[in-house]
A and B are shown apart, each in its own frame.
Chain A
Amino acid sequence: MKILVPVKRVVDYNVKVRIKPDGSGVDIANVKMSMNPFDEIAVEEAIRLREKGIATEVVAVSCGIAACQETLRNALALGADRAILVETDAELQPLAVAKLLKALVDKEAPRLVILGKQAIDDDANQTGQMLAGLLGWAQATSASKVEIAAADAAEMTVKREIDGGLETMQVKLPAIITTDLRLNEPRYATLPNIMKAKKKPLDTVKPDALGVDVTPRLATLKVAEPAKRRGGGKVADVQELVAKLRNEAKVI
C-alpha cells in the first residue's frame, strides 16, 4: 500500500518565540525552522511499515511556501520515496490544508495517511481528523502503537493515548493515523541519505490546480504575549517552604 505523510515546516521546538511588538503575530524572521516533531514520528512510522513490507511507497507532502522544500528534503533523507509540495504564499489554516490533502489523496490513492497529532506552532490538533471527515475514512488519533498484519489488510489495530490511559481500536482501511510522542523514536538522517535525498523526485503543484479554495476562515486580530509570571522566589529549606505555603500562599 502507498502511504501519504504530510509534514509541516515550523519554528524549531527549542526556540522560544517572540511576539512582534505591533501584535501582528509571532516573529519568525531568522528563526531556526524544522519539521514538526510529530511529523518526524509520522515519517518514521511510514518508513518502518515499508521496511516491514507492508507499505510499497512513502510519499511526503507539505503545503506552504517554497522553503517547505527543505522540510520535504528532510523527509526524503529520512527515507520517504518522493515528495510533493503544494506551493502557496497564502496563509493556510487546518481546513484548507485538509482540503489540499484530500485532493492529493484523490489523485495518489494511498490507503493510509499518517500525520502528526498537532503542529507545535498553532497547536490546533485538527488536520488529521478533518481529512478523515472529508474522505469519509476512519481515524485513529494520538496513536502509540500501530499493527497492520499484511500489505492488503482490510483493517489495522491501533493503540491510542486517551485521557484515562490507553484505548485499542480496530480500524478499517483506508484510514488516517495521527501520531503521539510514544509511537516511535525517529531515526536521524545519515549523510549518505541526505545526499541521496537531493536526487529523489520532488513535484510542485498549486492549490488552484487542485481546485481548492484556501481562503482563511479565521481572522487573527492580534497576538499578545501572555502575562509574565513573577517567579524566582527561593526558600532555604523545607521548613521555610511549608511555613510559606501555609501562612503566605495559604494553599495547604
Chain B
Amino acid sequence: MTILVIAEHDHTAIKGGTLNAIAAAQKIGGDIHVLVAGHNAAPAAQAAAQIAGVAKVLHADAPHLAGHTAENLAALVVSVAGGYDCIMAAATGFGKNVSPRIAALLDVAQVSEIVEVVAPDTFVRPIYAGNGLATVQAKDAKKVITVRATGFDAVAATGGSAAVESVAATPDTGLSNVTGQELSKSDRPELTAARIVVSGGRGVGNAENFHKLLEPLAAKLNAALGASRAAVDAGFVPNDYQVGQTGKIVAPDLYIAVGISGAIQHLAGMKDSKVIVAINKDADAPIFQIADYGLVADLFEAVPALIAELG
C-alpha cells in the first residue's frame, strides 16, 4: 500500500491538520508520501521531509499552483495518482475543496471526515451532525479520504528525513484565480489547535462585548476564541470563528461556552472536548446537558468575576 497525503501549507510551514492526516495514513499502513504543491514553497517541502513517518516528499512548483485552486491542484494530483492506492487530505476548508474533485476525476467515491480506521478499506465517519457514527467500507480499488483532525493524534513535525523529489506541474487550467484574501488576525492560538477554547454566542450581545469580555478571558487562559453561528451571523466576529457542524470541529482539553444555547449544530463541533464549561442565564439551555461544569449566571457578571478569580 502506498499513500499520498496532500499537504496543506502556506509555502513556508505545513499546517497542523496535515499531521493528523498522516497519523490516519499510518493507521491504514504502508509507505506514506506527501505532496507539497505551490510556488516557491521549497521551505514547506523541506518541512514536510522532517515529518515523522514520511517516506518521500513530492514537490511541484509553478506560479499557477500558488493559489492552491482546486482545479489546478486536482489536475496535478490526478497526474501522479497512478502510483497510489490511497489519496488523503485533512478535512479542512482546503481538503474539502480539492478532494472530491480528485475523487470524481478518478471515478471513485470519497470517504469524508473519517474519525477512525477500522481496516485499510473500512472507516468510521460521523453523520447527521455527529448524532450517528457510520462504519463504511470503500469498494473502489483507489481510495480518496479526508481526515477529521480530532480523530487522530498528530504525528511529530520533526524526526523524519524523507527525500524530496520534484514532480512536473500539470498545465494551468486557467479556470480560476485567487485575487485576494482577508485573513483574520489574532494574537490568540489557532482555534483547531488550541488546548483551551473560549466561545461566545448570541448572548454576548455585540462585537464590543465580545472584545471586552471574551478576549481578556481567552488571554488569561491562553485560549483560542470561537463562536456560534448566531454570533458570526450577527457580525460579532468573523466567519472563521464558527464552531459546529458546518464550521470548525474542535476537541480541546477545555471548552468554555458563553451565552451559547447548545443547538445540535453547535454541539457537533465541540462535544468531543475533554471538559466543557457552560455559562448561561437560562438553566434549561441544552448546553447544560453536555457541560461538565454548568454555571447558571448572567455572563456580564460571571465573565469579569471569572477573569478576576483566575488572578
Contact = CB atoms under 8 A, between A and B. Distances in A.
A209 interface: no
Interface stretch (B23-31, B35-43, B137-145, B206-214): B137-145
Interface stretch (A62-70, A80-88, A129-137, A188-196): A129-137
A133 B102 contact: yes
Interface string B90-106: 00111011111111110
Contacts of A165: 181-184, 238-240
A164 B183 contact: yes
Given A130-B103, A226-B130, A93 B109 contact: yes
B56 interface: no
B132 A161 contact: no
Contacts of A229: 271, 276, 290
Contacts of A218: 109, 111, 136-139
A169 B128 contact: no
Given A19-B132, A225-B133, A129 B100 contact: yes
Interface string A116-133: 011011111111111111
Contacts of A224: 132-133, 135
A94 B93 contact: no
B179 A168 contact: yes
A172 B172 CA distance: 13
B113 A141 contact: no
Interface residues of A, number: 79
A231 B290 contact: yes
B181 A171 contact: no
A126 B133 contact: no
Given A95-B103, A134-B104, A171 B176 contact: yes
A133 B105 contact: yes
A245 B295 CA distance: 13
Contacts of A175: 175-176
A17 B268 CA distance: 13
Interface string A136-173: 01111110100000000000010001111111111110
A162 B293 contact: no
Majority SS at the chain A contact face: mixed
Interface string B134-157: 111111100000000000000000
B219 interface: no
B294 interface: yes
A110 to B, nearest CB: 17
A33 to B, nearest CB: 13
A123 B113 contact: yes
Interface in A187-230: 216-226, 229
Interface string B44-74: 0000000000000000000000000111001
Interface stretch (A43-51, A52-60, A234-242): A234-242
A219 B139 contact: yes
Contacts of B104: 95, 98, 129-134
Contact of B140 (A13, A217, A249): A217
Given A17-B131, A164-B184, A181 B100 contact: no
Given A17-B128, A141-B70, A219-B139, A94 B134 contact: no
Contacts of A32: none
A223 B192 CA distance: 27
Contacts of B196: 251-252
Contacts of B109: 93-95, 216-218
A235 B128 contact: no
Contact of A170 (B131, B177, B221, B289): B177
Given A223-B127, A232-B288, A238 B295 contact: yes
Of the listed residues A121, A127, A167, A222, the one surrounded by the most CB atoms of chain B closer than 10 A to its CB is A167
A169 B176 contact: yes
A13 B265 contact: yes
Given A133-B102, A133-B104, A231-B289, A251 B134 contact: no
Interface stretch (B79-87, B163-171, B246-254): B246-254
13 contacts: A118-B246, A130-B104, A162-B93, A165-B183, A165-B184, A165-B240, A166-B181, A167-B181, A182-B233, A218-B111, A223-B132, A231-B289, A235-B294
